[in-house]
Amino acid sequence: MNLSVVGTGYVGLVSGACFAELGNQVTCVDIDEEKIEGLRNGVMPIYEPDLEEIVERNYESGNLEFTTSLAEGVNNSDVIFIAVGTPSQEDGGADLSAVKAVAKVIAETMDEYKIIVDKSTVPVGTGDWVEEFIADNKVSDCDFDVVSCPEFLREGSAVSDTMHPDRVVIGTNDSKPAKILDELHQDFEAPILHTDRYSAEIIKYAANAFLATKISFINEIANICEAAGGNVEEVAAGIGSDHRISDKFLRAGVGFGGACFPKDTKAIVKTAAEHGYDFKVVNSVVEVNEQQKETMVNKLKTLLPNLTGKTISVLGLAFKPNTDDMREAPSRTVIKQLLEAGAEVKAHDPIAMDEAKEVFGDKIEYCETTEETITDTEAVLLVTEWDKFQDLDLEEVKDLLNKPIFIDGRNCYELEEMEEAGFIYHSVGRPTISADDLAATREVAAVTG
């Protein structure tokens, strides 16, 4: 099938490459000339496991093309996927300017039947607007259909999620485009859910809002555990074993970030308000998440009340492992707090260093290795749970630090091993290991030894 995918971000590039991998002829379109030229030369604009190999293989075979001409993409395709960004506006609503720009060119360019698929995450009713706009502005007297087909990929596993989806949602009441899109998606061997367009548009927001709610919920439980006693991991295991709840998204931490959860929770709250409804639950989810991002530095300040002139090491900058995305990343809040408190910051991330430089400029020191980052610092803050940060040589880390202070925002280490290694250790929703604890442990060891 001949497809065009407009937008070469996470959704567009991954979707286009995976459709090409399945034997379709795909044209990826983006207005960024530098990005398109880079893709033609094998330069990936994003980091995503396995993506570079798929792009290279299909570009060389001719299944995948890149262009800055949307008109070319429209003319070369039967199905046009709109996969442009819909970032948050100041009021929390989705910015649809890129979607509107694409719709305008489609209206001016198409000269035969096309299926136009909203792959971007858009508020309910956007499909109506796209349909009406194209109908009112099309140059040629040709038919078209607008369908909602939301994506559910996760950054860091986007290729796998695209090739092996839990489900495919096709939102349309028209049988013609539904049949064609069924055929296009059959190679994914996933259940296909047919809905009306409004429902499909709401499904993506509802899914992300629910998952974000689970994260903020378990983070609030973690805060209760810290205040009243208890271990959030044991609580999560207890409630997660209930099949009605499941253990997914019940790992306490320093909060969620990225391109989807923060944006989509705000957008569904805004959509609800526009329809006269106060979405209290998700409003609280957003508030809790912002507060959670501040907990790491707050814990550090209980140990080092005056951070002025002190050097703190930060491990992990991307919002999650296996991506270089720093949008709404907890590290941004953590580092901002440290700098405002007068601290100096040394930071390292396996992938997101270039992105971090765009965010922080020369305000922090960027280190090439974990060891360099930790050396001669007063404390280490583990913000992103990259594999390499979950398997540190703890004795070496302690020797490199000026003080054995370790703030773990992702609960990567067991309490017993951190106590044995001699750290003052704070995690999320679990008992702390204090200097008094370490002294008592040493005293017992001396007596029994």
Q: Among 18, 28, 225, 260, which one carries the catalytic annotation?
A: 260
CB neighbours (10 Å) of residue 158? 25
pLDDT confidence of residue 325: 94
Provide the 8-state DSSP code for 281.
H
CB 205 within 8 A of CB 263: no
d(CA 84, CA 8): 8
Same fold, 204-288 and 295-448: no
Structure confidence by residue, pLDDT tens digits, 197-211: 999 999 999 999 999
- pLDDT of 149 > 60? The answer is yes
The reported pLDDT for the residue numbered 40 is 96
- Find the mean pLDDT for residues 396-419: 97
Q: What is the DSSP string of 40-95?
A: HTT--SS--TTHHHHHHHHHHHTSEEEES-HHHHHHT-SEEEE-----B-TTS-B-
State residue 438's pLDDT score. Answer: 75
What is the topology classification, in CATH, of domain 204-288? Answer: N-(1-d-carboxylethyl)-l-norvaline Dehydrogenase; domain 2 (1.10.1040)
Residue with token string 């009243």:
228
pLDDT (tens digit per residue) in 116-134: 999 999 999 999 999 999 9
Tell me: pLDDT of 399 over 70.
Answer: yes
Measured distance CA(209)–CA(220) in Å, rounded? 16
User: Distance between CA atoms of 30 and 67, rounded to whole angstroms?
Assistant: 7
DSSP state, residue 382: E
- Examine the pLDDT at 76 and tell me if it is beyond 80: yes
- Each domain of the chain, given as residue ranges in start order, spans 2-195, 204-288, 295-448
Mark out the alpha helices in 304-393 (DSSP H runs): 330-340, 353-360, 370-374
Calculate what percentage of the chain has a pLDDT beyond 90.
95
Q: How many residues does the chain have?
A: 449
Is 260 marked active-site? yes
Residues 37 and 215: their CA atoms lie apart, in Å, by 39
Q: For the ranges 89-93, 182-186, 200-204, 366-370, which has the lowest average pLDDT?
A: 89-93
Q: Give the per-residue pLDDT at 435.
A: 83
Mean pLDDT of the 305-314 span: 98
Select 2-195's CATH number: 3.40.50.720, 3.40.50.880, 3.30.300.30, 3.40.50.300. Answer: 3.40.50.720
Share of the chain above pLDDT 70, in %: 98
Whether 381 contacts 300, CB under 8 Å: yes
Given pLDDT bands bounded at 50, 70 and 90, which one contains residue 48?
very high
pTM of the prediction? 0.92
In the CATH hierarchy, which top-level class contains the domain 295-448? Answer: alpha beta
Question: Scanning the structure block, which residue is given the tokens 């409004």?
Answer: 198
Q: What's the pLDDT band for 445 if we cut at 50, 70, 90?
A: low
What is the distance, to the nearest Å, from the Cα of residue 135 to the centroid of all Cα atoms in its chain?
35
Q: Name the helix (H) or strand (E) containing 99.
A: helix 97-109
* Token representation of residue 149: 């087909």
Q: Which residue has the tokens 């408190």?
A: 341
Distance CA 164, CA 276 (A): 38
> Per the structure block, which two tokens stand in for 417?
């091993």
The SS3 call for residue 211 is helix
Mean pLDDT of 87-93: 91
**Span 258-286, pLDDT tens digits:** 989 999 999 999 999 999 999 999 999 99
Do 109 and 70 meet the contact criterion of CB atoms below 8 Å apart?
A: yes
